[in-house]
Amino acid sequence: MPYRDPDAIWEYRRAIEQTIIPHFGTKVVLSRLTPKSVQDFVNALPDSKSDAWKQNQLNPLKSAFAQARRLGLVRQNPCDGAVLPHREVIEEDDERVKVFTSRQVRALILVCPPKYRLLLWTLAETGLRISEAIALRWQDIEGDCIRVRRAYVRGAFKAPKSRHGVRRIPLSADLREAVYDDRTASVWHADSDLVSPRPGLALRCTTATCTAVSWLRSRRL
C-alpha cells in the first residue's frame, strides 16, 4: 500500500464519511462501479464548492481503484475518465483580491479584545498563516525577525511540508517592542513556551476578527 501522509489520510476519511458514503451508500460493490456512476458522483457535488474540493472528494475513490488494479482485483480504474463540471470563465476584474488598507488594519486591531491584538497584529504585518502564528515559541523570535519552523494543524505541531516553509520574516520596530513587552508580562515566558500559550485561542481570535470586520463594515471604515 503506498505511503499516505497523516493529513492525506484524514482528508480521505472525511471525504469518505461526508461525501462518498452518502452518495453511494454502505452496501455498494466497488468492483461494479462504472465510469458513468463515478461521473454521476462528480456531477452531483455542490456547484458552490471549488474544483480543488471536488477533486479531494474523488481522490479516495481514485486511489482505492488504483490499488485494486495493481492487485488485479479490477481491470480498470473507473475514475480515470472523470472530469469536473465545466465552469464559466470569470472576468479578470472579478478575480481581484480585496485587502484591507493600513487604516482599516489599525482600526481592526484597536476594536479587537486586548488578548487578541498581538496575534492579530502579527498576522496582519507578517502574513503568517494562523497555524504558523499560534505555533510560535519565544525562541522563534530572533532579534528583529520571526523564524517560522512549524505550524499547529489539527491538534498537533508539525514541521513545514517543504524547505520553503522554513523562513525568516522581519518585524517592524513597533511590533518587536510589543512582542517583547508581552513576553515580559506573560507567565509563559520560557524560550520553549508558546507566544500564544493556548492554541485554541486561534478559533476565538477568528471569531473576534469576524466580529470586528462586521463592525468595520457597518461604519464603512
Chain region(s) in the chain for CATH 1.10.443.10: 102-218
CA geometry: angle 161, 167, 171, nearest 5 deg: 140
pLDDT-derived band at 147, boundaries 50, 70, 90? very high
State mean pLDDT over 208-214.
Answer: 57
pLDDT of residue 23: 92
Tell me what the mean pLDDT of segment 3-7 comes to: 64
pLDDT at 146 over 80: yes
Predicted confidence at residue 113, as pLDDT, reads 78
Q: Which residue has the higher pLDDT, 2 or 56?
A: 56
Which three cell numbers mark 25?
Answer: 451508500
- Domain boundaries 6-90, corresponding CATH code: 1.10.150.130
CATH class of 102-218: mainly alpha
Question: 217 vs 120, which has greater pLDDT?
Answer: 120
In this structure, what are the phi and psi dihedrals at residue 169, rounded to the nearest 5 degrees?
A: -125, 125
Predicted confidence at residue 10, as pLDDT, reads 81
- For residues 178-192, average pLDDT: 88
pLDDT at 81 over 80: yes
The segment(s) of the chain belonging to CATH 1.10.150.130 are 6-90
Task: Look at 134 and 203; give whichever has higher pLDDT.
Answer: 134
Its pTM surpasses 0.85: no
CA distance linking residue 31 with residue 64, whole number of Å = 11
DSSP H helices, 33-140, are: 35-43, 51-70, 102-111, 114-126, 130-133
